[in-house]
Amino acid sequence: MFSHFLDKDSKSEPDFEKRKFFAAEEEVFFKRLIKALPNCSIFPKVQVAAILEPHISNEKKRQVMRQKLQSRHVDFGIFDKNLELLCVVILEGDDEVDEDEYPTRHLLKSAGIKSIRWKRAALPTYEQVLRTLAPFSDLNSPRAESSLHTIGKLFPDEDVTSGKIFTKVEHGNPNALSLAAIERITPEKLIKTQYPHIWQKICLFAGDPGYLKNYLESLFIQNRPTKRRGLPKPVANEVMAIQYENSRFVVSKDPDPIWDPTFLHR
């Protein structure tokens, strides 16, 4: 009873200090996500209650479940240009605690939400992030100041084929082909219109010249487990045009390969 009167600070406002939002490894990983998915919106520390709604007829049970969800979060939510959830990323520790009879991964699965899980102690590299999250990237979403219209506005007197314009990029890597440059060197847009899935991957991998090089080369491989028809010559020419421009940024001691598009139709 008397302790209440003796505690002079019982009604005073406590002091606070600013807290760092990300742990060191989380910050590094967040930057990798942004670099790998430049056309997506990525939100950290998303409350599970913000992306899941329990379908329970009993109102009391529904409120109990909502309270359970409010105490949980996923490390990152990845959204498309319309803020539709594409997938979530969960970073797991070595001492993960069981979440009673309703594990978060099961709740997400029941709602049709794809969850990607990585160990905090062994976070993936940029290339691993790129490969894993490629299917969930909204590659067609517009980026601010990222079109040919913008390029012409910013560099009205520049020749895009000079190479200087390639430093205007949307993926954060000045030493890689920009999406606008790729569009400029494929003016007939054959890949984009006839093979949109290939076009999307080219755009996704543009920020990493080495990975783009490997992907473009894979398009010409014929000895795969499943037979492929090969690309039509005009489309193959566009691929090789991108290869040539991308080779400027690839650091390699090996000579650039010389492609013969006629072999695709032999």
Map out the domains of the chain as residue ranges.
24-136, 148-265
* CATH topology classification for 24-136: Endonuclease; Chain A (3.40.960)
- Model confidence, pTM: 0.49
Distances (CA, A) of 37 to 33, 127, 171, 255: 6, 12, 8, 31
Output the furthest CA–CA distance in the chain (Å, rounded). 96
Strand partners, 89: 76, 116
**Reduced to 3 states, what is the DSSP secondary structure of residue 44?**
strand
| Distance of alpha carbon 60 from alpha carbon 211, whole angstroms | 52
Q: How many helices (H) and strands (E) does the chain have?
A: 11, 4
One digit per residue, pLDDT tens: the chain, 266 residues?
555 555 555 668 888 899 889 888 889 899 989 888 888 899 999 999 999 888 888 888 888 888 888 889 999 999 988 899 999 999 988 766 655 677 888 889 888 999 999 988 888 888 888 888 877 764 443 333 333 333 333 333 333 333 333 333 355 577 888 888 899 999 999 999 999 889 988 988 888 888 888 889 888 875 544 444 578 999 999 999 999 999 888 864 444 444 444 433 33
